[in-house]
Amino acid sequence: MIDVEDLIALVRNYNPRTNEDLIRRAYGYGRQMHDGQFRQSGEPYFTHPVAVAAILTEQRLDDATIVTALLHDTIEDTKSTYSEIARLFGEEIAELVDGVTKLTNLQLSSAQSKDAENFRKLFMAMSRDLRVLLVKLADRLHNMRTIRSMKPEKQAQKARETMEIYAPLAGRMGMQWMREELEDLSFKVLNPEARSSIMRRFVTLQRETGDVVHKITADIRTELEKAQIEADVYGRAKKPYSIWRKMQEKDLAFSRLSDIYGFRIICADVADCYRILGVIHQRWRAVPGRFKDYISQPKNNGYRSIHTTVSGRDGKRVEVQIRTRQMHEVAEAGVAAHWSYREGVRVQNPFAVDPGKWLTSLTERLGQDDDDAFMENVKLEMFTDQVFCFTPKGDVMQLPRGATPLDFAYLVHTRIGNSCVSAKVDGIRVPLWTRLKNGQSVEIITAEGQRPQASWIDIVTTGRAKAAIRRSLREEDRGRFVKLGQELTRAAFEHVGRRSSDKALRTAARMMGLADAEDLLARVGAAEITARKVVEVLYPELALIREGEVDPRRPVAGLSDDQTFRRAACCQPVPGERIVGITYRGQGVVVHAIDCPALEEFEEQPARWVDLHWHSGRHAAVHTVSLDLTISNDSGVLGRICTLIGDQKANISDLRFTDRKPDYYRLIVDVDLRDVEHLHMVMTALEAETDVAQISRHRDLSRKP
């Protein structure tokens, strides 16, 4: 374990004005609080906070952050309290320690159902003071470096969480070195065989070709000396996980993988960057499509550099990054460069940005989204690289990799996106699902009256576009949902012998915290609230009394004891729908839905009509309804459809195809349901499935009694 004087010496190397007494007191306090505690490895627990502090000194961070690292587990794991830390070390440090404690207590594993809610809390905490995140990332890095002392199942859980959350977060904050190490440490746990295989292939490659990195580095230095440019040149083989990811993405064997070596050229100023680029391209052949100028178009996290890939020695592809020393500091430290100290004062690096502004704007922009949408949009914002495209006027638009012309349109303006009908890329008309590339010019073609389509959700990549499309679709569907909600609530109120009046609905909306009765009906129609819940809010005593199970043998009220009944095959009425009975000699009563067209032939025979209604309560799922579906002819689609129906606790009693085409199937699915709400839940779930082109209730008037 590093002793306190060695730790102070590490801080003093970049900050001679450090408050040595503050660090000594924090070191002593932390050691005392953790006395008697041990890590899984058997080491004293305090070795961990000290190691975290040492990692942060490598980023030349301020005293408050170093002290926070020493104390970051005291509130959670010892008898220490927020007020005591505030009294001993000040409010700023107490706030930072408390922030790290809250981050630690968030369960961010993707297996957690409350993942999205906790992710929102994570971003809110980070936006208040990003130093909290710096301590947490260093804490996770040291835990991953010492993960072998944990139980195997705990190792796997931590590694997955690191790979999915913390490594991309470090990358988004510009701390690429930390991202790479976190990914590789996680890779070592999650797929040790693959990592070992790559390491063995590297050894074999070096034995066959010699030290390629040293040779190419020497070649670059020679060319720079000829051009009389002073610069430092560094080369390295890429990390095993980075190579593995390329192999998976490109579906290539190791022997066919190119650009597994990377080189950095660090120079004095921007002019030298472009001079060096010219030297590299004159000496080696550039690989088309592999040039990126992040100096003229920086990333959101402040990253600036020129990237180019060339065919080097023996035709091997190598990636070359060219940047100034100040740019390199930001590229290495990322967000930490904003707090970095040198000679006792904050470094004024012109390229360092405060990602806290990005986090704040992100949380404000996504603050109105539900948890699932927030989670999706944050990941889209955080885990993607960028491409730069141009408007017809020459304005630069920054988009995530994989973005489409639709994303471009919504980035220009929501109105442009909503009315988009087609696009031209570099003057050529292209489909809306085309993936944009760096440097392309994009022209959006709009039409009055055009509205977003549901299929657009799967085309766009950005959270902004997805949110705008969903909002437009919700507004368009609102009228349909309100009408459906009226029918569902009417049926639910009739179940308890009440009438669904405007006043009752307004009262229920107020009690449920909704804007008005229309909002209530829209939510019922969209299956966000059940009609039964509305009744329970207004009439809890009636809802409880009538909540018993209905006898599936006699679900219909209004029949005499000696009358038999059956549901009409033409309209297949279900509980919750208004019904009427028609008597048949020797066949009992056939129950029809009140709007069944088959009833027209009995208009002149009023004696055969029987006034019926469904018994109140919970009906068994024995009422078969036929659904007419049109689905994509693709592998796995039918299986997903069946799974969706099963997820709604509905049973498929029959399934038959009515039409088969190369690109779609039509089929009729018989589903056993409880009532009209159950039917609506199933149809809504199927309607939301991308591969379901059309769904309707199948009515066969030829199947008369």
In the set 43, 58, 77, 332, the catalytic residue is: 77
Farthest CA pair distance, the chain = 108
Contact between 49 and 72 under an 8 Å Cβ cutoff? The reply is yes
**Consecutive H or E run containing 181:** helix 176-190
Taking the CA atoms of 125, 129, 135 and 140 in sequence, report the sign of the dihedral they define: positive
Minimal CA–CA distance to 400: which of 410, 388, 416? 388
Q: Which residues of 210-224 are buried (b: 16+ CB within 10 A; e: fewer)?
A: eebbeebbebbeebb
Q: How far apart are CA 658 and CA 539, in angstroms?
A: 46
Which residues have a Cβ under 8 Å from the Cβ of 258 and sit 6 or more positions away?
A: 316, 317
Which pair of structure tokens corresponds to residue 384? 């993607």
Tell me how crowded residue 658 is: count the other CB atoms within 10 A of its CB. 12
Distance, in Å, from the CA atom of 187 to the CA atom of 159, rounded to the nearest integer, reads 8
The continuous run of DSSP H or E covering 309 comes out as strand 306-311
Helix (H), strand (E) counts: the chain:
28, 23
Is 549 a known active-site residue? no
Query: Taking the CB of residue 553, how many other CB atoms lie within 10 A of it?
Result: 7
DSSP 635: T
Query: Which phi and psi angles does 697 have, rounded to 5°?
Result: -80, 130
Residue 174: which region, alpha, beta or left (left: phi > 0; alpha: psi -120 to 50)? left
Which helix (DSSP H) or strand (DSSP E) does residue 565 occupy? strand 565-567
Q: Which of 43, 58, 76, 672 is catalytic?
A: 76
Does residue 234 contact residue 246 with C-beta atoms inside 8 Å?
Answer: no
| CA of residue 61 relative to chain centroid, distance | 31
CA distance 696 to 694: 7
In whole angstroms, what is the distance from residue 323 CA to residue 677 CA? 62
Nearest CA-CA partner of 89 in 138, 150, 157, 19:
19
* Phi/psi of residue 296, nearest 5 degrees: -75, -25
Helix (H) or strand (E) holding 692: strand 692-697
Among candidate residues 96, 103, 102, 188, the one with its CA nearest the CA of residue 137: 103
Distance separating alpha carbons of residues 306 and 293, to the nearest angstrom: 5
The strand pairing partners of 263, in sequence order, are: 235, 320
- Are 316 and 287 a contacting pair, CB within 8 Å? no
Cβ contact 62:18 at 8 Å: no
What span, in angstroms and rounded, lies between the C-alpha atoms of 574 and 400? 48
Tell me the C-alpha distance between 461 and 464, whole Å. Answer: 9
Instruction: Please check whether residue 263 is in contact with residue 216, taking contact to mean a CB–CB distance below 8 angstroms.
Output: yes
Other Cβ atoms less than 10 A from the Cβ of 124: the count is 14
Whether 164 sits among the annotated catalytic residues: the reply is no
**Token pair listed for 419:** 């009315």
Q: What residues are annotated to the active site?
A: 76-77
